[in-house]
Amino acid sequence: MPRVPQLGQLSAHAVGGPVKKQVPDKTELGRTRVLVVGDVMLDRYWFGAVERISPEAPVPVVRVTREEERLGGAANVALNVKSLGARATLLTVVGDDEPAHTLKRLLERDGIDTLLGSDPQLYTIVKLRVIGRSQQLIRIDFENQPDHEVLAEMLQDYETTLAEQDAVLFSDYGKGGLEHIPRMIELARRSGKPVLVDPKGSDYRRYAGASVITPNRAELAQVVGAWSSEAQLRERAQALRVELGLEALLLTRSEEGMTLFDARGDTSVPAQAREVFDVTGAGDTVIATMAAMIACGLSPREAMPLANRAGSIVVGKFGTASVSYDELFE
Protein backbone atom coordinates (compact mmCIF):
# COMPACT_ATOMS: atom_id res chain seq x y z
CA MET A 1 0.00 0.00 0.00
CA PRO A 2 1.30 3.53 -0.72
CA ARG A 3 2.74 5.55 2.13
CA VAL A 4 0.52 8.39 3.31
CA PRO A 5 2.07 11.76 2.30
CA GLN A 6 3.73 13.54 5.19
CA LEU A 7 2.66 16.96 6.42
CA GLY A 8 3.75 19.69 4.04
CA GLN A 9 4.20 17.54 0.97
CA LEU A 10 2.46 15.24 -1.48
CA SER A 11 4.33 12.78 -3.61
CA ALA A 12 4.09 13.18 -7.39
CA HIS A 13 3.15 9.49 -7.53
CA ALA A 14 0.20 10.05 -5.19
CA VAL A 15 -1.35 12.87 -7.19
CA GLY A 16 -0.42 11.62 -10.65
CA GLY A 17 1.84 14.54 -11.50
CA PRO A 18 4.02 17.37 -10.18
CA VAL A 19 2.93 19.01 -6.96
CA LYS A 20 2.09 22.71 -7.16
CA LYS A 21 0.81 23.32 -3.63
CA GLN A 22 1.91 22.21 -0.19
CA VAL A 23 -0.58 20.67 2.18
CA PRO A 24 -2.15 23.50 4.18
CA ASP A 25 -1.16 23.85 7.82
CA LYS A 26 -3.61 24.41 10.66
CA THR A 27 -3.31 28.19 10.48
CA GLU A 28 -4.11 28.26 6.78
CA LEU A 29 -7.04 25.89 7.22
CA GLY A 30 -8.31 28.01 10.09
CA ARG A 31 -8.69 30.94 7.70
CA THR A 32 -10.54 28.87 5.10
CA ARG A 33 -14.32 29.06 4.83
CA VAL A 34 -16.57 26.44 3.27
CA LEU A 35 -20.30 26.95 2.75
CA VAL A 36 -22.28 23.71 3.06
CA VAL A 37 -25.78 23.64 1.56
CA GLY A 38 -28.15 20.69 1.65
CA ASP A 39 -30.45 18.31 3.45
CA VAL A 40 -29.81 17.96 7.18
CA MET A 41 -30.97 15.28 9.55
CA LEU A 42 -30.63 14.22 13.16
CA ASP A 43 -29.03 10.83 13.74
CA ARG A 44 -30.27 9.14 16.91
CA TYR A 45 -28.79 5.98 18.37
CA TRP A 46 -30.41 3.76 20.98
CA PHE A 47 -27.97 1.29 22.49
CA GLY A 48 -29.16 -1.62 24.54
CA ALA A 49 -28.78 -5.17 25.75
CA VAL A 50 -30.34 -8.05 23.84
CA GLU A 51 -31.07 -10.95 26.18
CA ARG A 52 -34.19 -12.57 24.82
CA ILE A 53 -36.59 -12.95 21.90
CA SER A 54 -39.99 -11.31 22.10
CA PRO A 55 -42.91 -13.65 22.87
CA GLU A 56 -45.06 -11.49 20.57
CA ALA A 57 -42.98 -11.94 17.41
CA PRO A 58 -39.64 -13.54 16.40
CA VAL A 59 -37.65 -10.37 17.05
CA PRO A 60 -35.07 -9.46 19.70
CA VAL A 61 -36.08 -7.43 22.72
CA VAL A 62 -33.70 -4.50 23.22
CA ARG A 63 -33.45 -3.04 26.71
CA VAL A 64 -32.23 0.48 25.95
CA THR A 65 -29.45 1.62 28.26
CA ARG A 66 -27.94 4.60 26.42
CA GLU A 67 -28.94 7.20 23.83
CA GLU A 68 -26.82 9.37 21.52
CA GLU A 69 -27.67 12.19 19.14
CA ARG A 70 -25.38 13.22 16.27
CA LEU A 71 -25.43 15.58 13.33
CA GLY A 72 -26.48 13.87 10.11
CA GLY A 73 -26.68 14.62 6.39
CA ALA A 74 -25.33 18.02 5.37
CA ALA A 75 -24.88 18.86 9.06
CA ASN A 76 -22.40 15.99 9.34
CA VAL A 77 -20.61 17.30 6.25
CA ALA A 78 -20.26 20.69 7.93
CA LEU A 79 -18.99 18.99 11.08
CA ASN A 80 -16.34 17.18 9.03
CA VAL A 81 -15.20 20.49 7.51
CA LYS A 82 -15.00 21.98 10.99
CA SER A 83 -13.17 18.96 12.44
CA LEU A 84 -10.41 19.36 9.86
CA GLY A 85 -9.85 22.89 11.14
CA ALA A 86 -11.62 24.94 8.46
CA ARG A 87 -14.57 27.23 9.13
CA ALA A 88 -17.93 25.80 8.14
CA THR A 89 -21.18 27.64 7.48
CA LEU A 90 -24.31 25.53 7.06
CA LEU A 91 -27.24 26.85 5.04
CA THR A 92 -30.39 24.74 5.24
CA VAL A 93 -34.04 24.62 6.27
CA VAL A 94 -35.44 22.63 9.18
CA GLY A 95 -38.88 22.18 10.63
CA ASP A 96 -40.28 23.88 13.71
CA ASP A 97 -40.06 20.81 15.92
CA GLU A 98 -38.06 19.12 18.66
CA PRO A 99 -35.46 17.52 16.32
CA ALA A 100 -34.78 20.97 14.82
CA HIS A 101 -34.13 22.42 18.27
CA THR A 102 -31.76 19.52 19.01
CA LEU A 103 -29.91 20.07 15.72
CA LYS A 104 -29.47 23.77 16.50
CA ARG A 105 -28.05 22.91 19.92
CA LEU A 106 -25.58 20.41 18.45
CA LEU A 107 -24.49 22.83 15.71
CA GLU A 108 -23.89 25.56 18.28
CA ARG A 109 -21.97 23.14 20.51
CA ASP A 110 -19.67 22.16 17.62
CA GLY A 111 -18.99 25.75 16.56
CA ILE A 112 -20.63 25.56 13.13
CA ASP A 113 -21.94 28.86 11.78
CA THR A 114 -25.51 28.52 10.53
CA LEU A 115 -28.02 30.15 8.22
CA LEU A 116 -31.10 28.19 9.21
CA GLY A 117 -34.53 28.66 7.74
CA SER A 118 -37.59 27.32 9.53
CA ASP A 119 -40.55 25.77 7.73
CA PRO A 120 -43.49 24.64 9.90
CA GLN A 121 -44.69 22.33 7.11
CA LEU A 122 -41.42 20.41 7.15
CA TYR A 123 -40.61 17.51 9.45
CA THR A 124 -36.96 17.67 10.43
CA ILE A 125 -35.53 14.34 9.29
CA VAL A 126 -34.61 11.88 12.03
CA LYS A 127 -32.85 8.57 11.49
CA LEU A 128 -33.18 6.36 14.54
CA ARG A 129 -30.85 3.37 14.76
CA VAL A 130 -31.34 0.68 17.40
CA ILE A 131 -28.08 -1.02 18.33
CA GLY A 132 -27.77 -4.31 20.20
CA ARG A 133 -24.67 -6.47 20.67
CA SER A 134 -22.67 -3.93 18.61
CA GLN A 135 -24.93 -4.48 15.62
CA GLN A 136 -27.58 -2.30 14.03
CA LEU A 137 -30.87 -4.14 14.45
CA ILE A 138 -33.16 -1.67 12.73
CA ARG A 139 -33.24 1.87 11.35
CA ILE A 140 -36.41 3.94 11.56
CA ASP A 141 -36.72 7.11 9.44
CA PHE A 142 -39.00 10.02 10.33
CA GLU A 143 -39.52 12.49 7.47
CA ASN A 144 -41.98 13.96 5.01
CA GLN A 145 -41.49 14.98 1.39
CA PRO A 146 -41.99 18.75 1.10
CA ASP A 147 -44.54 19.87 -1.50
CA HIS A 148 -42.65 23.12 -2.13
CA GLU A 149 -39.08 24.42 -2.48
CA VAL A 150 -37.86 24.73 1.06
CA LEU A 151 -34.77 26.82 0.24
CA ALA A 152 -36.46 29.30 -2.10
CA GLU A 153 -36.70 32.02 0.52
CA MET A 154 -33.02 31.65 1.45
CA LEU A 155 -31.50 32.51 -1.94
CA GLN A 156 -30.80 36.03 -0.75
CA ASP A 157 -28.94 34.71 2.31
CA TYR A 158 -27.00 32.41 0.00
CA GLU A 159 -25.97 35.24 -2.31
CA THR A 160 -24.98 37.45 0.60
CA THR A 161 -22.70 34.89 2.24
CA LEU A 162 -21.02 33.79 -1.01
CA ALA A 163 -18.53 36.64 -0.95
CA GLU A 164 -17.13 35.40 2.37
CA GLN A 165 -16.63 31.79 1.25
CA ASP A 166 -13.66 30.00 -0.32
CA ALA A 167 -15.68 27.03 -1.60
CA VAL A 168 -19.30 25.87 -1.79
CA LEU A 169 -20.32 22.29 -1.06
CA PHE A 170 -23.75 20.90 -1.92
CA SER A 171 -24.78 17.79 0.00
CA ASP A 172 -27.77 16.35 -1.87
CA TYR A 173 -29.63 13.61 -0.05
CA GLY A 174 -32.63 13.76 -2.37
CA LYS A 175 -34.94 15.08 0.35
CA GLY A 176 -36.24 18.07 -1.61
CA GLY A 177 -33.96 20.75 -0.21
CA LEU A 178 -31.94 21.51 -3.35
CA GLU A 179 -34.46 22.22 -6.09
CA HIS A 180 -32.71 25.53 -6.80
CA ILE A 181 -29.25 24.02 -7.09
CA PRO A 182 -28.72 25.03 -10.78
CA ARG A 183 -29.22 28.69 -9.84
CA MET A 184 -27.01 28.32 -6.76
CA ILE A 185 -24.20 26.74 -8.80
CA GLU A 186 -24.47 29.54 -11.35
CA LEU A 187 -24.19 32.21 -8.66
CA ALA A 188 -21.21 30.51 -7.02
CA ARG A 189 -19.30 30.06 -10.28
CA ARG A 190 -20.03 33.64 -11.26
CA SER A 191 -18.43 34.64 -7.95
CA GLY A 192 -15.37 32.55 -8.77
CA LYS A 193 -15.98 29.95 -6.05
CA PRO A 194 -15.18 26.25 -6.55
CA VAL A 195 -18.32 24.14 -6.25
CA LEU A 196 -18.39 20.53 -5.04
CA VAL A 197 -21.47 18.31 -5.16
CA ASP A 198 -22.27 14.99 -3.49
CA PRO A 199 -24.96 13.95 -6.01
CA LYS A 200 -28.19 12.00 -5.78
CA GLY A 201 -30.68 10.68 -8.32
CA SER A 202 -30.42 9.94 -12.03
CA ASP A 203 -30.48 13.48 -13.49
CA TYR A 204 -27.05 15.06 -13.11
CA ARG A 205 -27.88 17.90 -15.50
CA ARG A 206 -28.89 19.91 -12.44
CA TYR A 207 -25.23 19.86 -11.36
CA ALA A 208 -23.93 21.28 -14.65
CA GLY A 209 -21.14 23.79 -14.17
CA ALA A 210 -19.95 22.43 -10.82
CA SER A 211 -16.22 22.04 -10.24
CA VAL A 212 -16.27 18.49 -8.82
CA ILE A 213 -18.95 15.86 -8.21
CA THR A 214 -18.31 12.79 -6.04
CA PRO A 215 -20.65 9.88 -6.89
CA ASN A 216 -20.08 6.36 -5.60
CA ARG A 217 -20.22 3.35 -7.90
CA ALA A 218 -23.96 2.74 -7.56
CA GLU A 219 -24.79 6.41 -8.04
CA LEU A 220 -22.68 6.76 -11.17
CA ALA A 221 -24.04 3.51 -12.65
CA GLN A 222 -27.55 4.88 -12.19
CA VAL A 223 -26.61 7.74 -14.54
CA VAL A 224 -24.25 6.21 -17.12
CA GLY A 225 -25.23 2.54 -16.87
CA ALA A 226 -23.23 -0.38 -15.56
CA TRP A 227 -19.76 -0.72 -17.07
CA SER A 228 -18.03 -3.96 -18.02
CA SER A 229 -14.44 -2.72 -18.10
CA GLU A 230 -12.18 0.08 -16.94
CA ALA A 231 -12.01 1.37 -20.51
CA GLN A 232 -15.80 1.60 -20.69
CA LEU A 233 -15.93 3.32 -17.30
CA ARG A 234 -13.31 5.81 -18.44
CA GLU A 235 -15.20 6.59 -21.63
CA ARG A 236 -18.56 7.07 -19.91
CA ALA A 237 -17.21 9.06 -16.97
CA GLN A 238 -15.29 11.43 -19.22
CA ALA A 239 -18.29 11.86 -21.51
CA LEU A 240 -20.43 12.81 -18.51
CA ARG A 241 -17.78 15.19 -17.20
CA VAL A 242 -17.54 16.99 -20.54
CA GLU A 243 -21.32 17.09 -20.97
CA LEU A 244 -21.79 18.73 -17.57
CA GLY A 245 -18.80 21.07 -17.88
CA LEU A 246 -17.10 19.71 -14.76
CA GLU A 247 -13.48 20.23 -13.86
CA ALA A 248 -13.36 16.76 -12.33
CA LEU A 249 -15.48 13.74 -11.47
CA LEU A 250 -14.32 11.81 -8.40
CA LEU A 251 -15.63 8.24 -8.28
CA THR A 252 -15.50 6.63 -4.83
CA ARG A 253 -15.14 2.85 -5.18
CA SER A 254 -15.18 1.42 -1.64
CA GLU A 255 -12.56 -1.35 -1.43
CA GLU A 256 -11.20 -0.29 -4.85
CA GLY A 257 -10.24 3.18 -3.66
CA MET A 258 -10.99 6.25 -5.81
CA THR A 259 -10.60 7.36 -9.41
CA LEU A 260 -10.56 10.98 -10.51
CA PHE A 261 -11.42 11.92 -14.10
CA ASP A 262 -10.36 15.33 -15.41
CA ALA A 263 -9.09 17.00 -18.58
CA ARG A 264 -5.68 15.35 -18.12
CA GLY A 265 -7.18 11.86 -18.08
CA ASP A 266 -7.72 9.80 -14.97
CA THR A 267 -5.76 8.85 -11.87
CA SER A 268 -6.54 6.40 -9.08
CA VAL A 269 -5.55 5.75 -5.49
CA PRO A 270 -6.14 2.36 -3.86
CA ALA A 271 -8.11 1.91 -0.68
CA GLN A 272 -5.87 1.87 2.37
CA ALA A 273 -5.79 -1.35 4.37
CA ARG A 274 -7.97 -0.81 7.44
CA GLU A 275 -10.69 -2.72 9.26
CA VAL A 276 -14.08 -1.43 8.16
CA PHE A 277 -16.38 -0.96 11.13
CA ASP A 278 -19.12 1.31 9.74
CA VAL A 279 -19.42 3.05 6.36
CA THR A 280 -22.12 5.45 7.59
CA GLY A 281 -21.21 9.00 6.55
CA ALA A 282 -17.97 8.05 4.79
CA GLY A 283 -19.05 9.99 1.71
CA ASP A 284 -19.60 13.05 3.91
CA THR A 285 -16.01 12.85 5.12
CA VAL A 286 -14.61 12.42 1.61
CA ILE A 287 -16.32 15.44 0.09
CA ALA A 288 -15.72 17.59 3.18
CA THR A 289 -12.00 16.87 2.92
CA MET A 290 -11.99 17.59 -0.82
CA ALA A 291 -13.79 20.90 -0.25
CA ALA A 292 -11.50 22.04 2.58
CA MET A 293 -8.35 21.24 0.60
CA ILE A 294 -9.59 22.78 -2.65
CA ALA A 295 -10.68 25.87 -0.70
CA CYS A 296 -7.05 26.14 0.46
CA GLY A 297 -5.80 26.09 -3.12
CA LEU A 298 -5.08 22.41 -3.81
CA SER A 299 -6.19 20.97 -7.14
CA PRO A 300 -8.67 18.06 -7.18
CA ARG A 301 -5.76 15.73 -8.02
CA GLU A 302 -3.79 16.97 -5.03
CA ALA A 303 -6.80 16.76 -2.70
CA MET A 304 -7.89 13.24 -3.69
CA PRO A 305 -5.24 11.24 -1.75
CA LEU A 306 -6.10 13.19 1.39
CA ALA A 307 -9.83 12.56 0.92
CA ASN A 308 -9.05 8.87 0.40
CA ARG A 309 -7.04 8.84 3.62
CA ALA A 310 -9.84 10.59 5.54
CA GLY A 311 -12.43 8.12 4.24
CA SER A 312 -10.28 5.18 5.31
CA ILE A 313 -10.07 6.59 8.84
CA VAL A 314 -13.75 7.33 9.32
CA VAL A 315 -14.96 3.85 8.31
CA GLY A 316 -13.07 2.55 11.33
CA LYS A 317 -15.37 4.56 13.60
CA PHE A 318 -18.94 3.85 14.67
CA GLY A 319 -21.84 5.71 13.06
CA THR A 320 -21.69 9.21 11.61
CA ALA A 321 -18.25 10.49 12.55
CA SER A 322 -15.53 12.94 11.51
CA VAL A 323 -11.76 13.12 11.10
CA SER A 324 -9.49 15.68 12.73
CA TYR A 325 -6.48 17.41 11.19
CA ASP A 326 -4.12 15.47 13.47
CA GLU A 327 -5.69 12.14 12.51
CA LEU A 328 -5.40 12.96 8.81
CA PHE A 329 -1.72 13.89 9.03
CA GLU A 330 -0.48 11.70 11.87
- pLDDT tens for each residue of 151-162: 778 899 999 999
Q: What percent of the chain has pLDDT over 90?
A: 69
pTM over 0.75: yes
Average pLDDT of the chain, as a whole number: 87
Q: Which pLDDT score is estimated for 17?
A: 40
Whether residue 117 is predicted with pLDDT greater than 80 in this model: the reply is yes
Task: Measure the CA–CA gap between 49 and 56, rounded to whole angstroms.
Answer: 18
Whether residue 20 is predicted with pLDDT greater than 70 in this model: the reply is no
> Is residue 177 within 8 Å of 122, Cβ to Cβ?
no
Mean pLDDT of 122-131: 94
Mean pLDDT of 273-282: 58
Q: Which pLDDT score is estimated for 133?
A: 82
Among candidate residues 302, 271, 329, the one with its CA nearest the CA of residue 10: 302
Note if 172 is an active site residue. Answer: no
Q: How would you class 109 by CB atoms within 10 Å of its CB: exposed for 0-12, middle for 13-18, buried for 19 or more?
A: exposed
Q: Which pLDDT score is estimated for 211?
A: 97
> Is residue 172 within 8 Å of 198, Cβ to Cβ?
yes
What confidence category does residue 22 fall into, taking pLDDT thresholds of 50, 70 and 90? low
Task: Measure the CA–CA gap between 31 and 79, rounded to whole angstroms.
Answer: 16
Of the listed 147, 203, 284, 326, which one is catalytic?
A: 284
